Structure 1
């Protein structure tokens, strides 16, 4: 006589393993921000803003460089330099907020390097303007 159980078998549903894309983009441990992470971006902003005020003054005064332009003596390079300088200046204004996140999450060197972006764009704007006017 054989005894066989014809009852229900205990089966467990196979649970699918979560794929890496469902786990989220940052599955590693979160890094804590450094204690004085805000010093580099603040110093960058405090240096860049006065320089940007000077660049804004030069941009506002630069149309006077075109007063001597006439049809006989066109100033095409000056107009192009003024446009390029305006674009660089606007990029410098927009980039004032860029250094804050990398300075908080990355290393000190990255924070200092990224904090120099607004100042560099502002100085490029001034240089482009002065070179186009003929003072550089």
Structure 2
């Protein structure tokens, strides 16, 4: 009676090629969708006029500090001007975010992210008006 032969197991690394080499990576599954540009374009067209209004208000608002002196400090107004400037700069910088994310992600992400610049601009205007004393 013969015993079945055991398969020989090699203890050193095999020289077989890997299943994914540099030439054989799977294709990128995130293809841009058709009409992906509608949501960011709408968001940009809605945000730009409001940003111009916010920039005008920010440029005119230092006149609210004319009455400030040592007896009547205007710390709240100065802080509001600084915060409004930072929010407006963030809004301007965030105009590019919807374009990138709308092309790469789903439709809901594109629409949701497209309102970020408009929201930051409106927050800038609100902060400015509250700081000056219109609120």
- Structures share fold, TM-score greater than 0.5: yes
CA RMSD, Structure 1 to Structure 2 (Å): 2.3
Paired position in structure 2 for 1:96: 95
Give the Cα separation in 1 of the matches to 2:15 and 2:63: 74
Paired position in structure 2 for 1:32: 31
Give the Cα separation in 1 of the matches to 2:131 and 2:90: 19
- C-alpha distance after superposition, 1:79-107 (max 9, x if no partner): 00000110110010001111011101111
Is 1:14 aligned to 2:14, yes or no?
yes
1:36-115 matches, within 5 Å, as 36-115=35-114
| CA deviation after TM superposition for structure 1 residue 31, in Å | 2.5
| CA deviation after TM superposition for structure 1 residue 68, in Å | 1.1
Paired position in structure 2 for 1:121: 120
Aligned length: 121
Give the Cα separation in 2 of the matches to 1:65 and 1:17: 73
TM-score by length of 2: 0.81
Give the Cα separation in 2 of the matches to 1:101 and 1:42: 12
TM-score by length of 1: 0.80
Structure 1's unaligned 5+ residue stretches are 1-12
- Where do 4+ consecutive residues of structure 1 move more than 4 Å? 26-29
Give the Cα separation in 1 of the matches to 2:98 and 2:26: 25
Give the Cα separation in 1 of the matches to 2:65 and 2:97: 34
Paired position in structure 2 for 1:131: 130
| CA deviation after TM superposition for structure 1 residue 52, in Å | 0.1
